[in-house]
Amino acid sequence: MDRNQSPRKSYGTEVAKLITGYGFNELNYHRMMARAYKDNKGSNRIREKLGFQKEGKFREHTYVDGEFQDVNIYGILENEWK
């Protein structure tokens, strides 16, 4: 890892990639889902970078810090996994 690169960003993508690969390659899943708060740009970007498609959102799904938050729903099929 480049010393100027943020470890948090690098690890988040790598962990998501490992989990998704494990689901398809070891557990033989056909489909996987992921969720992310609408305003969490990093989490949403990771899902899109890995090939997940945004399938919708749960409006005002979770109550956090005094307000309701929308949650984006992502999905990926085995044949879409790189």
Compute the distance between CA of residue 75 and CA of residue 47 in angstroms, rounded to an integer.
Answer: 9
For residue 43, what are the CA distances in angstroms to 35, 55, 76, 79? 9, 15, 15, 22
Q: Which residue has the tokens 């969490």?
A: 40
Number of Cβ within 10 Å of residue 76's Cβ equals 22
Compute the distance between CA of residue 19 and CA of residue 6 in angstroms, rounded to an integer.
Answer: 20
Q: Which domains does the chain have, with CATH numbers?
A: 7-80 (3.40.630.30)
pLDDT of residue 61: 97
pLDDT at 1 over 80: no
pLDDT at 5 over 60: no
pLDDT (tens digit per residue) in 13-67? 999 999 999 999 999 999 999 999 999 999 999 999 999 999 999 999 999 999 9
pTM attached to this predicted model: 0.82
pLDDT of residue 82: 75
